[in-house]
């Protein structure tokens, strides 16, 4: 830290918030992530795209500590975090949302967010006490619910929410951890067009003051949100750049048409 941010072509080139060097993960000899070097600029939305099986989720597992790399390193805010346990990485400020079910179905929407706020206060062994003992968390929880458009549903049980609204709740639960870096794995998966539009707008709103890495199949969403895109293929970085750069790269067109993921925009 401490070095001044420079500007090149209008894009901030501040020190990366997250950097991987030659990151690799093999499963029984199969290299799912193969020598990936990424540099994520602070305050940006950085999308990771690529055909099914390209290694996107494994990459997220490496960044969040759920999988230990075979080789290579991960640095967050200039400090090495390679091989740290998931809860330690989360405490440093990297929080992952979606594809991990963080919702308690039998608590209300509001209490789900309060549980997450409570865990952030680093008293994880305390029993959760619904009601007055935690009223001090109400204000912040209601703000977060307002951010994701869930305030009207605050008293419903989480189990009563529609699929799209559950994903908005997952986002509020993740934001309650106040992450510097938010990892979103396929936030629009399984959603109809209306919910896709809502969640895209939502991600655009909650990006303020944080960095987001997004795995997303819907290229319209990627085009709307991303400052930078990394295309993975068979575990390796194929191409990196803006949406305009990436979409006209013949290698990307090949990878998508050849990879069975060509049904989007
Ligand atoms: N735990 C695991 N054990 C063995 N193989 C795995 C494991 N996780 C992922 N893989 C393999 O790694 C490759 C990349 O998978 P994944 O990261 O899920 O791709 P993506 O998210 O891009 O679809 C796939 O071939 C998958 O079968
Ligand atoms: Mg995946």
Tell whether the model's pLDDT for residue 114 goes beyond 70. Answer: yes
Dist. CA 155 → ligand 2 center (Å): 33
| Other Cβ atoms within 10 Å of 25 Cβ, number | 22
Distance CA 18, CA 78 (A): 8
pLDDT at residue 200, as a whole number: 93
List, chain by chain if needed, residues with CB within 6 Å of any ligand 1 atom.
Answer: 27, 32, 50, 52-58
Q: 255 falls in which pLDDT band (50, 70, 90)?
A: confident
Ligand nearest to the CA of 63: 1
Dist. CA 94 → ligand 1 center (Å): 21
Of 53, 54, 99, 230, the one to substitute when testing ligand 1's pocket (max ligand atoms within 8 A of C-beta) is 53
Tell whether the model's pLDDT for residue 117 goes beyond 50. Answer: yes
Ligand nearest to the CA of 236: 1
The whole-chain average pLDDT of the chain stands at: 87
Tell whether the model's pLDDT for residue 128 goes beyond 80. Answer: no
Instruction: Give the chain's domains with CATH numbers.
Output: 12-258 (3.40.50.300)
pLDDT at residue 61, as a whole number: 95
Asked if 38 contacts 20 with a C-beta cutoff of 8 angstroms, the reply is yes
Dist. CA 236 → ligand 1 center (Å): 13
Q: 5 falls in which pLDDT band (50, 70, 90)?
A: very low
Dist. CA 31 → ligand 1 center (Å): 9
Tokens coding 2: 């401490």
Dist. CA 61 → ligand 1 center (Å): 10
Length reported for the chain: 265
pLDDT over 90 for what percent of the chain? Answer: 65
Dist. CA 108 → ligand 1 center (Å): 35
Mean pLDDT to the nearest integer, 253-259? 68
| pLDDT digits 0-9 by tens, 146-195 | 988 899 999 999 999 998 899 899 999 999 999 999 999 998 988 888 88
Asked if 73 contacts 82 with a C-beta cutoff of 8 angstroms, the reply is yes
Residue nearest to atom 6 of ligand 1 (CA): 27
Q: Report the nearest atom of ligand 1 relative to the CA of 232.
A: 22
Distance CA 199, CA 168 (A): 7
> Which one, of 178, 182, 175, 167, lies nearest residue 95 by Cα?
182
DSSP 136-186: GGHHHHHHHHHHTT-GGGTTSBGGGS-HHHHHHHHHHHHHTT--SEEEEE-
Tell whether the model's pLDDT for residue 99 goes beyond 80. Answer: no
Query: Regarding predicted confidence, which is higher, 176 or 263?
Result: 176
Residue nearest to atom 11 of ligand 1 (CA): 32
Tally the C-alpha atoms within 13 A of residue 3's C-alpha that lie toward its C-beta.
10
Q: Which helix (H) or strand (E) holds 90?
A: helix 86-92
Distance CA 160, CA 66 (A): 30
Q: Report the nearest atom of ligand 1 relative to the CA of 51.
A: 22
Q: Report how far apart, in Å, the C-alpha atoms of 171 and of each of 41, 46, 164, 259, 265 are.
A: 22, 17, 11, 30, 25
Q: What is the pTM of this model?
A: 0.86
pLDDT at residue 2, as a whole number: 40
| pLDDT digits 0-9 by tens, 29-63 | 999 999 999 999 999 999 999 999 999 999 999 99
Of 26, 27, 54, 234, the one to substitute when testing ligand 1's pocket (max ligand atoms within 8 A of C-beta) is 27
């Amino acid at each position: 830290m401490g070095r001044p941010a420079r500007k090149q072509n209008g894009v901030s080139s501040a020190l990366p918030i997250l950097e991987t060097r030659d990151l690799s993960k093999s499963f029984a000899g199969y290299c799912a992530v193969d020598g990936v070097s990424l540099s994520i600029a602070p305050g940006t939305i950085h999308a990771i795209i690529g055909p099914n099986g390209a290694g996107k989720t494994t990459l997220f597992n490496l960044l969040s500590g759920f999988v230990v790399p075979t080789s290579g390193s991960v640095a967050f805010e200039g400090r090495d975090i390679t091989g740290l346990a998931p809860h330690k990485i989360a405490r440093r400020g990297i929080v992952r949302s979606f594809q991990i079910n963080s919702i308690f179905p039998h608590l209300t929407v509001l209490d789900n967010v309060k549980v997450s706020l409570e865990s952030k206060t680093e008293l994880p062994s305390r029993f959760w006490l619904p009601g007055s003992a935690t009223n001090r968390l109400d204000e912040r929880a209601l703000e977060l619910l307002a951010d994701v458009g869930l305030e009207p549903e605050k008293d419903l049980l989480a189990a009563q929410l529609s699929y799209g609204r559950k994903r908005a709740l997952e986002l509020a639960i993740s934001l309650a951890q106040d992450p510097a870096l938010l990892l979103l794995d396929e936030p629009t998966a399984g959603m109809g067009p209306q919910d896709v539009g809502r969640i895209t707008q939502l991600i655009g709103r909650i990006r303020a003051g944080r960095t987001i890495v997004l795995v997303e199949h819907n290229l319209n969403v990627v085009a709307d949100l991303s400052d930078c895109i990394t295309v993975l293929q068979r575990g390796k970085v194929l191409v990196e750049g803006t949406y305009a750069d990436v979409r006209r790269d013949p290698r990307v067109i090949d990878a998508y048409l050849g990879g069975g993921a060509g049904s989007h925009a």
